[in-house]
Amino acid sequence: MRGLVSARGVNVVYEPNRGARIWSVRDVDLDLAEGEFVGLVGESGCGKSTLGFALTRLLQPPGRLDGGSISFDGTDIASLSGEQLRAQRRNGFALVLQSGMNALNPVRTIGHHFGDILKAHARDGDDYTRASIRRRGGDLLEQVELKAEVLDRYPHELSGGMRQRVVIALALALEPRFIVFDEPTTALDVMVQKAVMNTIKSLQASQRFTALLISHDLGTVLEATDRLLVMYAGRIIEDKPSAEVLTGVHHPYTDALLGCYGDPRAEVVQLHGIPGMPPDLSTTGGGCLYADRCALARNGCRDSVPQLAPAGSGRVACFVRAPAPNARSKSADPQTEGQR
Amino acid sequence: MRYVTRKVVLFVLTFWAALTLNFALPRLMPGSPLDAALGNLQANGVQVTNAMRDAMAAQLGGAEGNWLSQYFSYLGNTLRLNFGTSFSFPTQTVSHTILQALPWTVCLVGVTTIIAFVLGTLLGVYAGWRRGTAADSTVTLGATLFSAFPPFWFGMLLLYVFAFKFQIFASQGGYSPGLTPNLSLSFLSDAVQHSILPAVTLTVTSLSGWVFGMRNNMINTLGEDYVTFAEANGLRSRTIALLYAARNAMLPNITAFGLSLGAVVGGSVLVEGIFGYPGLGNLLYIAVLNHDYPLMQALFLVITVSMLVTIFVVDLLYVRFDPRVRREVIA
Amino acid sequence: MSITATATPPPADGTAAVTGGPSRLPDGLTPILFLGRALRTLWSNGKARIGLVLLVFFVLLAVFAPLIANHSPTSTDFVPYQNPNAENWLGTTGAGNDVFSQMVYGARVSLLVGLSAGILATLVAVTLGLISGYRPGPTDEVIGFITNLALVIPGLPLMIILAAYLPSRSVWTIVLVVAFTSWATGARVIRSQAVTLRTRDFVTSAAFSGERMLRIVFREILPNMTSLVAASFFSAATAAVMAEASLEFLGLGNPETVSWGTILHFAQQQNALLTGQWVLVFAPGLAIALLAVSFTLINFGVDALSNPRLREKTS
Amino acid sequence: MRSLHRHTAAATAVAAAVALVVSGCAGSGKAAQSAESASSGAAGSSPGSGASPAASGSGSASGASAGGVKQGGTLTIQGDSGNPTLVENFNPLVPTELGGTRLIYEPLAIASTVDGTFTQFLAASQKFTSPTTLEFTLRDGVKWSDGKPFSAADVTFTFDLLKKYPALDTTGVWTQLSKVESKGNIVTATFKAPNVPFESTVAQVPIVPEHLWSSGLPADPSKFANTKPVGTGPFTLSSFAPTSYTLTKNADYWNAANIAPSQVDYPAQSSNQSTNQLNVASGKFDWSYNFLPNVQQTYISRGANRSYWFPPGGTIGLFLNLTKEPYNDPNFRQGISHLLDRDTIAKKAVNGYLGAASTTGLILPNLEKWLDPSIPDKGMITQDAKKAGDYFAKAGYTMSGGQLTKDGKQADLTITLPNNYSDWVAAANEVKAELSAGGINVTLDEPSAAQYTTKIQSGNFDGAFGGFGGTGVPYNDFNNALNSSFAAPIGTATVNNFERFKSPETDAALASLAAATDEAAQQAATNKIQQQMFTQLPIIPLYYGGSWGLFQTTHFTGWPSAEDPYTLPTPYNQMSLLVVSRLKAVG
């Protein structure tokens, strides 16, 4: 199926130093349907945020897209030039950042933020006066359960939860059809996390935009989303309807994540929950990257890269759980080609 | 209010320490004002005699009492802005001498510092925004080279080419011979004409600090989430560059601006000397050569206080620029 | 006053927010190896490479001065006021010195002053900055106060006064004077970084494990501010080269010293521009500028080492 | 302090190659007023003769000759150094006054700094009626520029003022005088002891008007700026600005017919010495005072109608500390003297503009008429290693392995000199090279000018560079340099005779020179002193410091020159009155 957002063979490479290359996202295929709410989970550094940035064309140097295509509503966004890309952001794709704390310009009021966005996308016939901006801003804030007086505040005058809501409201200002929520609640305390998540859920439900919720907190994701994607070492290794995650067949890594589920301080637990460390993304060979930490690993696991293959209600990239008939050979692997 | 109290206490302490240092420094040094005067006479080819030495000793008067009583009378006089009479300019008070020179330095250094700050900041914003491009390299390397020119050397070359060879600008002083300083348009334009060479020297050689600082801040700021978020929201590049990145990148530079404004007063000694500019820098050098304690102390005080005051003013400005500090001040 | 309120570095020192994760000098790694690795990484930075090449050029000039110069720099046996010719490649001074030889030997003084004043100022800055940053309370307050005072007292005038009065007039006097007047900025930046690092996990854990303060400061904290220390060194070294030239130019140095500053001093005294000896004025000024450029460029590279955002595009 | 005002010299930011080169040449210099007068003297005048014969000799300036000279035009003199701007100060009794003050106030008479010849101003004539009584007959019909008549009371008032305020007595007249009285138009100065050569000092005190100065002076008159000067001189102040001031001719001046310029402009000098040189080279002044390298190329060939005169203005010498071994041994000093190649030293120091100095202590050719004919070769010593070796042998030193040693110890010498006198530095480097070649271990100690002054005055040195002479009067030159009464103990400051020379013979010769009223006696005493200098070498003369006069003859002629050496070309002291009185307008 081809959805609203569609990625094919996406690789993202970082080149922080001469000669050093890190593949943060590897060979990812992805389709998100209109109005779908999808979760993306994985350990820190697994490339999930990078993927979110790639999907919204926000990669910053030294990171860059290295092969593959990303289309949004049929347009190849990877090839858009600056101004085309900018225009596309109205009714297009938006990003709600990891830490809403820092996503707001500390020297501008919330009202200014709305003004900046609205004016930047003014079309013929749009009349953005101070008053109309305030009206629109007020409406948007109301949608995220904030009062209009927040418009006159500076970011530092707001609580973390309020700021995150403001960020969501700002993202909504352009009536996007696709929003990436990158760890929208991570920096918040638990009670506020819940409230913000509820807001996101109800907004998604009412406005029917396509949403990709990136989080390391499996529990939160499972509660909110329609479909779950699990990422490990730059690859998507599992794709499954959220409602069935607790039942069906899984990648051993997903199993391990589920083992941690329920602990509110997931980040800490992960380290203890899954033995070993994530692999070095610059030096890996062609096999299953989880093999070194996998209790089920067997000989063939390190020979070639497992591809997503149907398993139960979803798809899993694992030789053990869902042997794929079409496993690629090492030599076809982009990162091996790229190695010195 | 704690913020203000703390600032005031620190101001007073720094002020006192600076006063004390000003008092002590010249006295810790070997050589007396009298010997400096005689040395200078000899430099001028005068055959000094013991009679002259005695007359000069009488003229200079010299400090009375031990160091401690000198120190307290110095503190008292300073607070009353009474700096006494300088050895170098016996017919006028030190305050008068300094007041005559002060406006020149303030104008020259003030204007050039502001120009350097604005120009350097703009170039830095530009280089940071276009980082990695040829434009960035040009600006950065250009600024590196210019900042490496010793100011006095650069001034010397400008002086020779533009004042002597082509006679486009005046070779010395703050205004044409025969004019008396006033606020008429003709005088001001004359003064501006005289200040162009020193101003260019100071600007060109001090530009780079701002360029580098701003470029670095800019690059750091460009990595901030709010810039990414603004980009995600499709803001225009210019809005992002100026209102989001540059506006925040500038904040650390504002504090530095305060420090530099004061520092340049001191740093203009050489350039003022080269161009014979009638400012504080020139005076200071004379005071040092003559062991002119009263003048030296007063000049140090002026420079130090001007730094403290500029820093204070810039602090106020900073409050205007950074709403986060604003709350702290009110609280 | 904001001199205490914020810990933002002034622009010129080119410091950047530093270092992500903890790093420390592993026990087995000798400083030489560490230096070698740092140099290799520096070399990969285009600007720093130019800077290193320039610096090496000047160092070679200084080290092999007796082999390169074709005359004694202090000999006054030549016809004075000569323009460049076959015998005197850059002409002669009014006193009959060979300018080329003076330029070559002058590199020694500028390098000596720049490097040693840089080291000295950095030592003071690092020591005071670290102690101040790691020891909150009275120690920090006192050091912070002294640092702020040193920042407020104008540097060049202080330098002129010190240089004018100090009885000894060797190059070392200038080194001391420059070091004395240029440590404060570095100390402040290093202090604020030390304050940030103090609260990091790896330092806290080292403290809990009972390591002594000095060990923590120098083994845990210091390696994490390599770039700040380097920035402090290079800006002090640049300042020192400039200050040496300025003081010599003013005639406040030792006139017997052969340095680029004294060449300029005598060029001015003998009014080389009036006699049309452009080389006499150009050469030393340009040499000073190039040495300062090399320090600045290397500093760019150091900055980029520690702050990935400042790195150049590799394409 | 004074010096600042005069030439830019060391006082300024980009200090002063030039004036520095001057350094050591006496007779120039701001407070030169004091300097000169302190020493200027009786050379040419025979005190006994009524009107000084020199008066008539000094030509039209004082002559008030019938027709007068062609008038008109503006004379531009390179003025005082603005540091950073001019400070209005026309008080003729302080050394910080602006140079133009010298053309506003007159003294009784002025002695040439070349040879001491007098030119009469407020005094029509002067004579010693006894060795302790100097009598001035004042000129008639002189008026102050405000129209009030000038009288003898003004003269006595001025001297009384100096007595009352020692800070004003920069030439120390009251160290020698006991009283100054007037009767009619006769003013009588009575000396405490015979001191004939002191005549010039007394004569050169600028006279101020009693009716304006008797009241309303500040408590400390040395701080009185006198911004509305009223004098008897040829010019009055017409305008003052911080960067220049202008004098206009005093139409009622007693000698107005012989004053050519109708106006004198004094634009301030830059604090940057090389800017001054550029200004001089581009022809901004009719009369300037600067050392210029390659003067033919940098000045003369750069414009038409230009000339220069660089006469010797003082002797630069190596002063050894005579209280220390082995420097107190005349043989050791002679040895050093014979090791030196003075021509080379002079070439390095002053570009060959001036030459080696005579070891008689006289400035040649200025004072050639006083030379003792019995001294060979005018006292010029040429480098001679063998003779030097002989002298060193007498002092107990032998050469071994290239080192001059005594009791196995190498002779060493630390030479102290100010680090910013570039001509001295150049000379010292050469001296060091030559003495090192002679086996002496020489070190140069180059502190700041102030510390140098402190060191030499307190006697804290082995050897030092210094300048002496240049007053135009042998007695003053020698007295300052050699009189044992100045030789203070080590640790006590003395400006004069800081080498601490003590010689009863020299003191006796100086005393007889001070009291001598006829030329033969003066010559005899001067010869004795020259022989002392030549044999004892209390000071080792090296080369002559220059006096750097640069002129444009476009508007005025009559400048001092080698052909007409009536005074040193120094525009910043009383010699300016002498020169301006001699100028003739062109065209």
pLDDT per residue over A261-292, tens digit each? Answer: 544 444 444 444 566 666 666 665 677 878 77
Strand D398-400 and strand D403-406: the pairing is: antiparallel
**How much is the pTM?**
0.79
Stronger pLDDT, D158 or D95, i.e. the higher one: D158
Of D416 and B109, the structure prediction assigns the larger pLDDT to D416
pLDDT given for residue A275 in this prediction = 63
Report yes or no: D492 at the B interface, CB cutoff 8 Å: no
Dihedral, D148, D150, D153, D155 alpha carbons, nearest 10: 130
- Angle, vertex CA D508, rays to CA D506 and CA D514, nearest 5: 100
Q: Nearest chain C residue to A18 by CA: give it.
A: C314
Which subunits sit against D, judged by 3+ Cβ pairs under 8 A? B, C
> Would you state the pLDDT for residue C215?
76
Instruction: Count CB neighbours of D296 within 10 A.
Output: 10
Task: Inform me whether the C-beta atom of residue D26 falls under 8 Å from chain B C-beta atoms.
Answer: yes
CB A51 within 8 A of CB A27: no
Q: Is B319 a member of any domain?
A: no
Q: What is the pLDDT of residue D63?
A: 37
Among the partner-chain residues C2, C47, C157, the one whose CB lies closest to the CB of B311 is C2
Q: Is B230 on the interface with A (CB under 8 A)?
A: yes
Residue with tokens 């300048």: D467
**Which amino acid is it at D62?**
S
The DSSP H or E segment spanning D463 is: strand D463-468
Averaged pLDDT for residues A206-218: 87
pLDDT digits (tens, 9 = 90+) for B229-258: 888 888 888 888 888 888 888 887 877 777
Residues near D316 by beta carbon (within 8 Å), at least 6 away in sequence: D24, D25, D349, D357, D423, D424, D427, D465, D466, D467, D541, D542, D543, D544, D545
CATH superfamily for A1-92+178-340 is P-loop containing nucleotide triphosphate hydrolases (3.40.50.300)
Percentage of chain B lying above the pLDDT 70 cut = 88
* The pLDDT of residue A318: 82
Q: Nearest CA to CA, how far is A65 from chain C (Å)?
A: 14
Percentage of chain B lying above the pLDDT 90 cut: 3
pLDDT band for D188, please (50, 70, 90 cuts).
very high
What per-residue confidence (pLDDT) applies to A282?
A: 66
Predicted local confidence at residue A8, as pLDDT: 87
Q: In chain A, what is the straight-line distance between the N-terminal and C-terminal CA atoms, in Å? A: 37
Contact A62 C44 (CB under 8 A): no
Residue A260, CA atoms < 13 Å, CB-side half-sphere: 24
Q: Could you give the ipTM of this predicted complex?
A: 0.76
Instruction: With a cut of 80, say whether residue B263 has pLDDT above it.
Output: no
Q: Average pLDDT, stretch C230-255?
A: 84
- Pick the range with the lowest mean pLDDT from A303-317, B89-103, B259-273, C24-38: C24-38
From the candidates B42, B53, B104, B105, which should be mutated to test the interface with D, based on the most D CB atoms within 10 A?
B42
Give partners of C (≥3 CB pairs < 8 A). A, B, D
Which among C291, C281, C260 is positioned nearest to B145, based on CA atoms? C291
Both structure tokens of B243: 């209102």
Q: Is the pLDDT of residue B142 over 80?
A: yes
**Residue D27: what pLDDT?**
30
Question: Which residues of chain C have a CB within 8 Å of the CB of B315?
Answer: 1-2, 5
Which residues of chain B does C2 touch, with a Cβ-Cβ cutoff of 8 Å?
255, 258, 311, 314-315, 318
> For the segment C54-98, what is each residue's pLDDT rounded down to a tens digit?
999 999 999 999 998 888 888 878 888 888 888 888 888 877 889
* pLDDT number for residue A16: 62
Contact across the interface for B56 and D471, Cβ inside 8 Å: no
Cα–Cα distance, B47 to D36 (Å, whole number): 8
Q: How far apart are CA D276 and CA D288, in angstroms?
A: 9
Domain containing residue B185: CATH number: 1.10.3720.10
Q: Does D34 touch chain B (CB under 8 A)?
A: yes
Burial of C208 (0-12, 13-18, 19+ CB in 10 A): exposed
pLDDT at B307 over 80: no
User: What's the rounded mean pLDDT across residues D33-60?
Assistant: 33
Region C219-246 average pLDDT: 82
Q: How far apart are CA D251 and CA D524, in angstroms?
A: 47
How far apart are the C-alpha atoms of D485 and D500, rounded to whole Å?
9
3-state secondary structure of D508: helix
A-chain residues within 8 Å CB-CB of B236?
A: 86, 120
Mean predicted lDDT score pLDDT of chain C = 78
Given a cut of 90, is residue A82 above it in pLDDT?
no
- Asked if C271 and D297 come within 8 Å (Cβ–Cβ), the reply is no
CB D403 within 8 A of CB D439: yes
Give pLDDT tens digits for D491-532.
888 888 999 999 999 999 999 999 888 889 999 999 999 999
Read off the amino acid at residue B35: D
pLDDT for res C306: 65
Confidence bin at D70 (pLDDT 50/70/90)? confident
Mean of per-residue pLDDT scores for chain D: 85
C275 has a pLDDT exceeding 90: no
Most confident of A9-18, A251-260, B78-87, B185-194: B185-194
Number of Cβ pairs < 8 A linking chain A and chain B: 88
Tell me if B105 is assigned to some domain: yes
Q: Is the preceding omega at residue D209 within 30 degrees of 0, hence cis?
A: no
Rounded CA-CA distance B329/D181 in Å is 77
Is some CB atom of chain B closer than 8 A to the CB atom of A174? yes
A240 CB-side CA count, 13 A: 28
Residues of chain A found within 8 Å of residue B226, distances taken between Cβ atoms = 102-106
Domains of chain B: total:
1
The string of pLDDT tens digits covering residues B156-212 is 899 888 888 888 888 777 777 777 777 888 888 888 888 889 999 988 888 888 888
Q: Are B304 and C153 in contact (CB under 8 A)?
A: yes
Position C315 pLDDT exceeds 60:
no
> Which one is predicted more confidently, D203 or A95?
D203
Q: Report whether B56 contacts D475 (CB < 8 A).
A: no
Domain membership of residue B224 as a residue range: 100-291
How far apart are the C-alpha atoms of D60 and A299, rounded to whole Å? Answer: 123
- Going by pLDDT thresholds of 50, 70 and 90, the confidence category of residue B262 is low
Do the Cβ atoms of B276 and D270 come within 8 Å? yes
Q: Chain-centre distance of CA D97, in angstroms?
A: 17
Strand-pair partners of C302: none
Q: Give contacts of D248 with chain B, Cβ < 8 Å.
A: none
Q: Which of A76-80, A102-106, A329-333, C27-31 has the lowest mean pLDDT?
A: A329-333
The answer to the question of residue B185 being in a domain is yes
For chains C and D, count residue pairs whose Cβ atoms are closer than 8 Å: 80
Residue D267 pairs with which residues in a beta bridge? D244
Q: Which of D453, D485, D486 to mutate to test the interface with B (most CBs of B within 10 A)?
A: D453
Determine the average pLDDT of the residues in C166-176.
75
Regarding chains A and D, contact by 3 or more CB pairs under 8 A is answered as: no
Residues contacting A249, CB < 8 A, separation 6+: A311, A312, A316, A321, A322
Put simply, the answer to whether C300 touches B223 (Cβ < 8 Å) is: no
Q: Output the CA angle B31-B36-B37, nearest 5 degrees.
A: 150
Q: Which other chains touch chain B, taking contact as 3+ CB pairs less than 8 Å apart? A: A, C, D
In a domain, B83, yes or no: no
| Confidence check: pLDDT of A309 > 50 | yes
Q: Which of D62-76, D79-93, D268-282 has the lowest mean pLDDT?
A: D62-76
Q: What is the DSSP string of D250-290?
A: -TT-TTGGG---SEEEEEPBPSBHHHHHHHHHTT--SEEE-
Range in A158-162, A201-205, D1-5, D470-474 the model is least confident about: D1-5
Cβ–Cβ pairs < 8 A, chains B and D: 304
Percent of chain C with pLDDT over 90: 16
The total number of residues shown for chain C amounts to 315
Domain regions of chain A by residue span: 1-92+178-340, 104-173
- Residues forming beta bridges with residue D540, ordered by sequence position: D318
**What gap in Å lies between CA C145 and CA B9, rounded to an integer?**
12
CB C292 within 8 A of CB C239: no
Q: How confident is the model at residue C169 (pLDDT cuts 50, 70, 90)?
A: low
Please state which of the ranges A110-114, B68-72, D120-124, D281-285 shows the lowest mean pLDDT: B68-72
> Could you give the C-alpha distances from A92 to A74, B190, B227, in angstroms and in order?
12, 61, 19
Rounded CA Rg of chain A: 21
Q: Is the pLDDT of residue D45 over 70?
A: no
Is pLDDT of D42 > 80? no
Q: Is residue B46 part of a domain?
A: no
The β-bridge relationship of strands A227-232 and A37-41 is parallel
Is B324's Cβ below 8 Å from some Cβ in A? yes
The better pLDDT of the pair C9, C250 is held by C250
* Alpha-carbon Rg for chain D in angstroms: 24
Average confidence score pLDDT of chain A? 79
Rounded to a whole number of angstroms, the distance from the CA of D449 to the nearest CA of chain C is 9
Distance from CA of C95 to the nearest CA of D (A): 6
- pLDDT of D43 above 70: no
